[in-house]
Amino acid sequence: MRKGAFLDRDGVLNRERGQHTWSLPEFEVLPGVPQALRLLQDAGWVLVVITNQSGIGLGLYGHAEVEEVHGYLRRALADQGVQLSDVFYCPHHPSKGKCLCRKPGSLLLERAMAIHGIDAARSVMIGDRDRDVDAAAACGVRGIRVDSNEALLPVVGEHVLNA
């Protein structure tokens, strides 16, 4: 079984703007993110993005826009030698009903672990909300809460690679 680094998107990988981020002009990969992910990748971690994209459920944007942003993220990271193993997102909004895939639900993490042979006990979820840490705890993954838009490189060095 492999160790996985599950990463929230908005506020961890890209700038949290305080509103839905769904178009390329608004999407900014945070400084140091490629370097931090490269360290994880080189140390044998499987890199998986787990993100809530409730704007789909609200009708603000569609799956195509989210896929375009995720394609850009993959290319930007690949240009720095980083390969994301997968990106999972929940399109539901809580006002439209309850689902199991929206964090703090753990379904997306569980799905990623099953698909990629990831060991929960050896894995981490890095997020900027309590719901990220709660989703991790629900399936036996260690959660690391960071401030939105915090530099990821020191977090990876201190809390993941040296843990």
Question: Looking at the annotation, which residues are catalytic?
Answer: 8, 10
Say how far apart CA 19 and CA 46 lie, in whole Å: 29
Tell whether the torsion through CA atoms of 60, 136, 156 and 39 is positive or negative: negative
**What is the distance between the alpha carbons of residues 126 and 104, in angstroms, rounded to a whole number?**
13
Burial group, residue 111, by CB count within 10 angstroms (0-12, 13-18, 19+): middle
Residues in the chain: 163
Number of helices and strands in the chain (H, E): 5, 5
Distance CA 152, CA 37 (A): 9
